[in-house]
Amino acid sequence: MSSIRITICPPCFRAWSQVTSAVRACPGCIWPVGEGAKRVRYVEATASPLYDLRRGGHAVHLPGVRGRTDVCGCFPTGRHYPGIADLIADAIQNVEGLCHEFEPGSSWEAIPFTVIDFETTGRDSGTDRVIEIGLVTFKRGNVTSRESLLVNPGIPVPEESRAVHGISDEELAGAPDFATVMPRVLELLQGTLPVAYNASFDRGFILAEIARAAPQGMTQGDMPPAARDDVVWVDPLVWAREILKELKTRRLGDVAKHLGIPLEQAHRAAGDAEATGRVLLALAPQLPRVYGELIRLQKRYAAFQEAEFAAWKRFR
């Protein structure tokens, strides 16, 4: 079968593809090597992640360049395309799910972020409860606070859950309930970007617990970013799946080991949270630098991964 191989600045491609339905490549920074592909041939990138555009009928190879750009930046693989900067800037400014506290065009690495990890009685945020909260805040690559809180769920901890995290009913008997610790949790999350490994899990639990515990009259406008349902959390798992394709699994322990990051007390909330933050920092050189672009691409990749997983389950 024929194939297409192109070298391209990913933000430029996406912006250009918004204005033409017949795009084969961004005219400013590519050279096509084939036409009319029916099947895309993968090319492994040596120093940067593969920006996966299979669904658009393209493979993207970025040889020798890192996968991070400024708002208007093309990679040094080609010429600058006049006018692309405005398209990219508009796309970044209009991304849904951004924290209004932070500028979309700012560097996410300059924004303090708090990694959130929960141990729970099960996987259903509607019926299960949080039993341990780990919150680790990073500022410019350094841990500035680390908090671990036990929470009495008000229900027994099932044996299968206890086998994972080792937290027993006896340990939780004297712990406060979520409503009691909630003010402290919200205080620690204030003014920081929310991060979690497999973020949909922890995000679902914090929203459910707050909905049950919040006093009457308390609105989402009073909440920090992590406690608002319109904010997309940064999820290192999504990026690990895109960047570390050579790994058989992208479980936190496997990714941390691959990156040389110690994981102390696995499946305890604070240990997992700190390891997650260090994984994100280790992947940072291969991520978009701009906050709005980071979230925009993460949402795209997460949707692709979810669709692929659903297809795998359907046809396995």
The string of pLDDT tens digits covering residues 39-58 is: 222 222 222 333 333 333 33
Cα dist. 21→14, 17, 80 in Å? Answer: 11, 7, 21
Q: What is the pLDDT of residue 89?
A: 57
Q: Are 273 and 264 in contact (CB under 8 A)?
A: no
Q: What is the pLDDT of residue 60?
A: 38
Q: Are 132 and 269 in contact (CB under 8 A)?
A: yes
pLDDT at position 190 over 60: yes
Picking from 44-48, 252-256, 303-307, which range would have the lowest pLDDT averaged per residue?
44-48
Residue 263 corresponds to which amino acid? Answer: L
The pLDDT-based confidence of 24 (bands split at 50, 70, 90) is: very low
Residue 242 corresponds to which amino acid? Answer: E
For 116, the enclosing helix (H) or strand (E) is strand 113-120
Residue range 18-40: mean pLDDT, rounded: 32
Q: What is the pLDDT of residue 103?
A: 94
pLDDT at position 212 over 70: yes
Closest of 47, 53, 73, 48 to residue 6, by C-alpha: 53
Domains and CATH numbers, the chain: 1-94 (no CATH), 108-315 (3.30.420.10)
Cα distance between residue 252 and residue 218, in whole Å: 35
The pLDDT-based confidence of 86 (bands split at 50, 70, 90) is: low
Q: What token pair was written down for 2?
A: 């024929």
pLDDT at position 188 over 50: yes
- Contacts of residue 243, Cβ cutoff 8 Å, sequence gap at least 6: 49, 283, 286
Closest of 187, 193, 185, 188 to residue 110, by C-alpha: 193
* Residue whose tokens read 């009691």: 180
The pLDDT-based confidence of 222 (bands split at 50, 70, 90) is: confident
Cα distance between residue 256 and residue 279, in whole Å: 6
Q: Is 273 helix (H, G, I), strand (E, B) or coil?
A: helix
Give percent of the chain above pLDDT 90: 58
User: In sequence order, what DSSP letters do the residues of 55-108 get, joined into one string?
Assistant: GGTB-B--TT--S---TTPPPTTS---TTHHHHHHHHHHT-TT--TTS-TTSBG
Picking from 68-77, 94-103, 112-121, 218-227, which range would have the lowest pLDDT averaged per residue?
68-77
The pLDDT-based confidence of 36 (bands split at 50, 70, 90) is: very low
The rounded mean pLDDT for the chain is 77
What is the sign of the dihedral through the CA atoms of 7, 13, 16 and 17?
Answer: positive
Decide which of 297 and 57 is more confident. Answer: 297
